[in-house]
Structure 1
């Protein structure tokens, strides 16, 4: 046998063994995969509804819209809902809700693909009662809601209702608890899950402190990762419900509305967990280490509370957040710590206990001897110096470190700090004065006076006075007075008086007065300046231009801009959640007039222009005033408008003005035949002061009576008006 034939023989043998080996590997891999189901594709549809109006006799909700936006964001970021598969409705009525459900039905019918799981999530924040939802006061019964949800061809239906008495939806079938709900690679779950923020006989409560409803606030926190008790990076429906239930109950036990118990009706069959959010696919996360323990409050850089939870020791926590900077507060009994962290897409940012800086708790006294659970008050112990911090009663400084404090141990707790160009203390409990800059790294209790600026890294409990500016990075209780600007990074209680501007990044309780600009995130009190800017206001804004989110009070200015406002008074008031209506009609003075009413849901500005024949020509009446809009009847189909206007006439449209005055008090009742279309009619009381040289008896054909002396005395008469509103 030759070497060549021998080599060929060995080649055949080797090739045979290679083929056999590859076949065995394939068989083994198939056998290993046989018990495992192929990963199921999932498409999740979402309808998110926020409706703040509930009809006559029900208070307008402040946070229904923002709650809906928060849910929408977390479903898109972590819940697997594509923007094209989400329908967001703000201030929707019943018809809009029904149209949206029909749209989702069509979308689901067009998404039939072999192996594709379809899910529907419906979230509603608004008014309801024991019988059904009340979007803008128009009832949608729970029976109809269940029926409509059943028409959407999906495998799983999840309904989350954050509204009063919404637990009535969950009690029809008893709501038996079942372990493990929705979706992993082996899941074959079918059925429905209904969650309600309150039981059938309870009210659902919202909070100004957290800027949201309790239930939605904690549900969103849980979905962002706080509810992940297993630490696998996924939040199931069961975990999210349990977290929201316990946190909502804990925060409402002593509230004015009483304890709030979330309810559920879960009818699901199959294996696996119903995963609501998955954090594993997002790098934008904040990690909290095992050594951190206490109550955590996470706020974005606009001071909006985005997460709140009790962090136990020994558990590593991951929160999926939007990219940006965050301020984190850690609270323990009689202790508070703060830290800052930046969340980016480059990797998770981790917080350890060493990243937190201790701060002094603010003194707070309860009015009337009782506390509201919505605004918990922490006890405050006297400020104590750290063991490693020396106490130097008097700190004399030219510029740091040329100071007596540096000779006796560096930065210290001072009771009096006097500086030439600058003086710096670690903490100050007393008086600080400097010709240039007064600086305190921590908390300042007492007073700071400086020629240029005062700076406090912690809280200010007292007063800061400077020609340049005052800065309190830890919030303040007291007063800031400056010729240029005052700034508080956290809550401020008291008075800010600045020549150019004032700013508070968090809650302001008190007054802001400035010759230029006032800025605050949330205000309880008043702003007085040329330009006022606020997030939410309970009080008043007075200035040339006022801009705010929700205003429970008055905006008085030339231009007012707000999401919602109780009383806007100005030449131009733009209210996003308000009303604007156009009217065409006639009255006893002007056979034809056109007008506009714009403002809040209750208070509006009204302007109109009308024409009348006069001395073989014609003249125009221009009127401007304010009024009240009071809806009543089923679904606000009827309304009463009471308006007071003033104005006068001039020859033709752009003719030269003539000295005359017309005052009108009108009351009209409207009947809304369709949305944005109404008929109205009413009566009026008119007072007219004609031109000096002309009694103008024919200003109206209605009989008049005269008051005052002279041929041009004031004339009065009753009148009427009829018209159409669109």
Structure 2
């Protein structure tokens, strides 16, 4: 009876041990089958079971080891993400080749297929091909690098193509093409094209094209294009384009364009364009900024809202808080000053003056300017009276305006010429200049009507022995001659009065 019970117990222990072993070995490449002793116990291959009713400690699932490019990694296949498994598989498929010499892709010392190879040094007679190049790739025709990219130097007289990221330098006579991000230096005669972000320098004779952000420099003879931000510099003979903002410098002979809110400097011989710029625009052509905090120094400056200065031959702004200095200034509104020959300011001065003086009996002047500074253009006529000759005067001046409620004070400096034959006759009577320092006070009778009057200090200088205007002035005169009488300086006080509309 005892022997039967012992046999039954042994059979039950064996069944339990086999079931536990089967659970442990599930999913593994090789399973361990537990051996059962004749005395009813389990062999060393199976954990010991001390007896019925005793809880058995379960072992952890076995680890799956895989060699990946010379490294050993362990993990549970069931818990690994799909992307990680794909990466592990891709790296597991790589073949490391320290040195490879290739005649043409497919005919190489490293075999016929090079698409999964990682080369430290790759030399090509016509072209090289590898999934990744770690140190150096040289060829006469081309270097082709797969998704692994390049982390060294690629040099060729033809073209470098990398379908993966680049961390290093690419040199080509033809072109460098990178379909991922690039860090380092890309230099070519033809073009550099990066379909990603760039950190480093792109230099070419042709064009640099980046479909992402540039954090560095683009240097070209042709053009520099970046569809994203530019953090650094774009220098070219042709033109520069920043698809988004510019934080840095754009210099070109042709033109510069920044399409986002920018901080920096644009310098060109042609055109500068920015919708919103904090910094400086300089051009021998045209500079445009929709909103500017800084300065524009160009032949033609065009701005929307400008906080700063516009200096050029022609300055145009919808609103300026600063200064316009040029030949022609146009502003819808100013909180500063416009200084020029012709200044048309919405909230400034645009007046016509009719007045008389001791120089010319009848004068018509155009007074243009901002709130405090103005220019005046004058034409005067004195008919022949008492034996005096008929006189024409033409002059231009700059001055300052001080508003004191309805009362105002003007002071300006004018330079004029006097003619006897015809108005604007510059063939005769040109060896002289008349200077006038005028001080005037006025009263604004109505919004568009004022009266004014004042005094002037007049100085007439003639040279080359010409002194035809002895009858000018009505007050005491001081005369001084020099250069053996060829240069004569006459000084006298004068008066003036008129109306302003």
TM-score with structure 1 length normalisation? 0.43
Are residue 700 (structure 1) and residue 458 (structure 2) matched?
Answer: no
What does the per-residue CA deviation read over 1:293-329, in whole Å, with 9 as the maximum and x for residues that have no partner?
A: xxxxxxxxxxxxxxxxxxxxxxxxxxxxxxxxxxxxx
Pair 1:628–1:616, CA change in 2 (3 A): closer
- Taking the aligned partners of 1:446 and 1:407, their CA distance within structure 2 comes to 17
Residue 488 of structure 1, CA deviation: 0.6
CA contact (8 A) 2:149 2:164 kept: no
What does the per-residue CA deviation read over 1:556-590, in whole Å, with 9 as the maximum and x for residues that have no partner?
A: 33322221343333333222232211111212222
User: 2:321 aligns to what?
Assistant: 552
Residue 471 of structure 1, CA deviation: 0.9
What does the per-residue CA deviation read over 1:544-567, in whole Å, with 9 as the maximum and x for residues that have no partner?
A: 322212223333333222213433
| 3-state DSSP of counterpart to 2:199 | strand
- Taking the aligned partners of 1:454 and 1:393, their CA distance within structure 2 comes to 25
CA contact (8 A) 1:394 1:415 kept: no
Q: How many residues of Structure 1 are paired with residues of Structure 2 in the alignment?
A: 334
CA contact (8 A) 1:416 1:428 kept: no
Residue 502 of structure 1, CA deviation: 1.1
Pair 1:392–1:513, CA change in 2 (3 A): farther
Residue 661 of structure 1, CA deviation: 0.9
- Taking the aligned partners of 1:422 and 1:654, their CA distance within structure 2 comes to 64
Are residue 571 (structure 1) and residue 354 (structure 2) matched?
Answer: no
| 3-state DSSP of counterpart to 2:453 | strand
User: 1:421 aligns to what?
Assistant: 191
- Taking the aligned partners of 1:664 and 1:581, their CA distance within structure 2 comes to 20
Pair 1:395–1:722, CA change in 2 (3 A): farther
CA contact (8 A) 2:264 2:277 kept: no
CA contact (8 A) 1:396 1:405 kept: no
Looking at secondary structure, tell me which structure has more helix per residue: 1
| 3-state DSSP of counterpart to 1:589 | coil
User: 1:451 aligns to what?
Assistant: 221
| 3-state DSSP of counterpart to 1:719 | strand
Are residue 496 (structure 1) and residue 266 (structure 2) matched?
Answer: yes
- Taking the aligned partners of 2:148 and 2:306, their CA distance within structure 1 comes to 43
2:441 to 669, 674, 678: 669
Pair 1:410–1:652, CA change in 2 (3 A): closer
Residue 637 of structure 1, CA deviation: 0.5
CA contact (8 A) 1:397 1:418 kept: no
Residue 516 of structure 1, CA deviation: 1.9
User: 1:404 aligns to what?
Assistant: 162
- Taking the aligned partners of 2:224 and 2:157, their CA distance within structure 1 comes to 14
Kindly report the root-mean-square deviation, in angstroms, between the aligned alpha carbons of the 2 structures. Answer: 2.9
Pair 1:484–1:390, CA change in 2 (3 A): farther
CA contact (8 A) 1:680 1:725 kept: yes
CA contact (8 A) 1:393 1:413 kept: no
User: 1:715 aligns to what?
Assistant: 490
Pair 1:591–1:569, CA change in 2 (3 A): same
- Taking the aligned partners of 1:684 and 1:625, their CA distance within structure 2 comes to 13
Residue 669 of structure 1, CA deviation: 1.0
User: 1:479 aligns to what?
Assistant: 249
CA contact (8 A) 2:379 2:394 kept: yes
Gaps of 5+ in 2: 1-146, 167-177
| 3-state DSSP of counterpart to 1:568 | strand
What does the per-residue CA deviation read over 1:650-676, in whole Å, with 9 as the maximum and x for residues that have no partner?
A: 115437331221111111111111111
TM-score with structure 2 length normalisation? 0.61
User: 2:39 aligns to what?
Assistant: none
What does the per-residue CA deviation read over 1:316-344, in whole Å, with 9 as the maximum and x for residues that have no partner?
A: xxxxxxxxxxxxxxxxxxxxxxxxxxxxx
Residue 524 of structure 1, CA deviation: 2.9
Residue 424 of structure 1, CA deviation: 0.7
CA contact (8 A) 1:579 1:598 kept: yes
Pair 1:554–1:391, CA change in 2 (3 A): farther
Residue 695 of structure 1, CA deviation: 5.6
CA contact (8 A) 2:337 2:371 kept: no
Gaps of 5+ in 1: 1-388
Which has the higher relative contact order, 1 or 2, with Cα contacts under 8 A spaced 6 or more apart? 1
Are residue 682 (structure 1) and residue 451 (structure 2) matched?
Answer: no
Pair 1:422–1:701, CA change in 2 (3 A): same
What does the per-residue CA deviation read over 1:336-355, in whole Å, with 9 as the maximum and x for residues that have no partner?
A: xxxxxxxxxxxxxxxxxxxx
Pair 1:451–1:621, CA change in 2 (3 A): closer
Are residue 530 (structure 1) and residue 302 (structure 2) matched?
Answer: no
User: 2:425 aligns to what?
Assistant: 656
CA contact (8 A) 1:491 1:505 kept: yes
| 3-state DSSP of counterpart to 2:164 | helix
Residue 398 of structure 1, CA deviation: 8.8
- Taking the aligned partners of 1:549 and 1:679, their CA distance within structure 2 comes to 31
Looking at secondary structure, tell me which structure has more strand per residue: 2
CA contact (8 A) 1:392 1:412 kept: no
User: 1:439 aligns to what?
Assistant: 209
What does the per-residue CA deviation read over 1:41-60, in whole Å, with 9 as the maximum and x for residues that have no partner?
A: xxxxxxxxxxxxxxxxxxxx
- Taking the aligned partners of 2:466 and 2:192, their CA distance within structure 1 comes to 73
CA contact (8 A) 2:413 2:437 kept: yes
Are residue 624 (structure 1) and residue 409 (structure 2) matched?
Answer: no
CA contact (8 A) 2:253 2:268 kept: yes
CA contact (8 A) 1:638 1:672 kept: yes
Work out which of the two has the higher radius of gyration on C-alpha atoms and give 1 or 2: 2
| 3-state DSSP of counterpart to 1:519 | strand
User: 1:517 aligns to what?
Assistant: 286
What does the per-residue CA deviation read over 1:435-479, in whole Å, with 9 as the maximum and x for residues that have no partner?
A: 322223332222111232212222222111122211112211221
- Taking the aligned partners of 2:208 and 2:396, their CA distance within structure 1 comes to 53
User: 1:724 aligns to what?
Assistant: 499
Residue 503 of structure 1, CA deviation: 0.9
- Taking the aligned partners of 1:400 and 1:426, their CA distance within structure 2 comes to 22
Pair 1:599–1:463, CA change in 2 (3 A): same
| 3-state DSSP of counterpart to 2:390 | strand
